[in-house]
Amino acid sequence: MDMTGATHTTDDDRSETDEGPTTVNVGQFEFERGGSVDLDVAYETYGDPTNPPVLVAHALTGSQYVAGAAPEELGAQAGSWWDDIVGQGRPLDTREFFVVSANVPGSCYGTTGPASEGPDGEPYGPDFPAVTVTDWVRAQAQLLDHLGIDTLYAVVGGSVGGMNAIEWAKQYPERVERVAAIATAPRLDAQMLALDAIARRAITSDPNFGDGRYYGDEHPDEGLATARRIGHVQYLSKTSLEDRFGRRAAERAITAIDDPTADAFPYRDVVSYLDYNAERFTERFDANSYLYLLRAMDEYDLARGAGSDAAALAGFDGEALVVSYTGDWHFTVEQAETLATAFEHAGAAVSHRVVDSDYGHDAFLVEPETVGAPLSAFLDGGAEKAGFAPVHASLFS
């Protein structure tokens, strides 16, 4: 078993990632929608490789740096993003489990993506093949092969990472025993497809985007910032934005823009917040990667090729945990219930935990206690131990 520098075995080892991403080359990778690249998969591991392996799938703009040390430039959103969930003594205890996480194909944190150098020595840019959640799972399976892991004790993920987790039960049901799908859905609804398409078009219509070969020139930061602002609104609930910001004026001055209506009115704090975060985001994320990954999320549909969600999960006879949030309008409680029902109809033991939270979609990141307790119980004793089955069946009666 090749356990290179990516392994975090103790809290003291957390600085080992300073030397950049650890990668494994899985060779020429054929993508679901056509095209292939010589694929490096960047990954991190945590804990003792002889313990039961758990794969953690990251969210849209997340990384393989689930917990502990992470490159500083990733910031708190992409680096060490589940530090309250994964670690020694944490709900996903790295003294009990061997945790593996990989950056998805198409991203920009070490796994090959549009910003990576292609065979001609230039970044792939728009020549990078379209990616799907199915591709991500197949790349992760190849990483596990490399690590000598045949069967996962569990796969855990939130948001599109939750789609990634349930796709494991569809694609490799024999290689995973437990699936924990947090704040996710079998597919997005029309409203989210609409907002995501608006976001993508904001990027591609930025004059700096050109045809996507902007590397070395000015990047389409304005369009990417617009896309991120739209995403940010999707990640928070109406209630949480109102409670946190209301109509309060910001303390900082607005970034200079030529808006003739700006000077006569206050710069609202909620706008300042989105602007600030969008600016930080453009410093850490590649616009093409955002296009590719957002599209992968939009186009994920658990039922595709199987006829129904339950049929897609027919081969899976393990246990499933579904966690959803009442304030989440990106991935709704109703969608999570559809997922839980599909697991049930497929014959899996499933527990659906509905968390009463106003925060919104990002609750799975910023209210880690809502994930920690059910996840810990689920890993310990399965759906029954998670203690909520079969409450999902009566949620909407």
Part in contact with a second copy (CB under 8 A); list of ranges 38-46, 97-105, 251-259, 369-377:
251-259
Point out which residues pair with 351 in neighbouring strands.
Answer: 321
Closest CA to 241 of 229, 251, 253: 229
* H or E stretch at 18: none
**Does position 207 bind a second copy by CB under 8 A?**
yes
Q: How far is CA 383 from CA 186, 257, 374, 392, in A?
A: 19, 52, 9, 12
Biggest distance spanned by C-alpha atoms of the chain? 64
Contact string 5-44 vs a second copy (x = CB under 8 A): ----------------------------xx----------
**Does position 193 bind a second copy by CB under 8 A?**
yes
d(CA 138, CA 27): 13
Part in contact with a second copy (CB under 8 A); list of ranges 49-57, 153-161, 167-175, 262-270:
262-270
**Does position 336 bind a second copy by CB under 8 A?**
no
Q: Which two tokens stand for residue 2?
A: 């090749």
Distance of CA 236 to the CA centre of its chain: 16
> Catalytic residues, which ones?
159, 328, 361
Q: How far is CA 180 from CA 79, 151, 187, 359, 384, in A?
A: 21, 15, 16, 21, 13
Q: Which distant-in-sequence residues (6+ apart) come within 8 Å of 397 by Cβ?
A: none
Contact pick of 90, 170, 295, 392 for a second copy (by CB under 8 A): 295
Q: Is 11 annotated as a binding residue?
A: no
Part in contact with a second copy (CB under 8 A); list of ranges 15-23, 75-83, 188-196, 317-325:
188-196
Contact pick of 190, 356, 394, 396 for a second copy (by CB under 8 A): 190
**Does position 120 bind a second copy by CB under 8 A?**
no
Q: Is 228 annotated as a binding residue?
A: yes
* H or E stretch at 322: strand 319-325
Extract the annotated binding site.
Answer: 228, 362
Task: Give the binding site for a second copy (CB under 8 A).
Answer: 33-34, 114, 125-130, 187-191, 193-195, 197-198, 200-202, 204-207, 209-212, 222-223, 226, 229-230, 233, 236, 238, 241-242, 244-247, 257-261, 263-265, 268, 270-271, 274, 288, 291-292, 295, 298-299, 301, 329
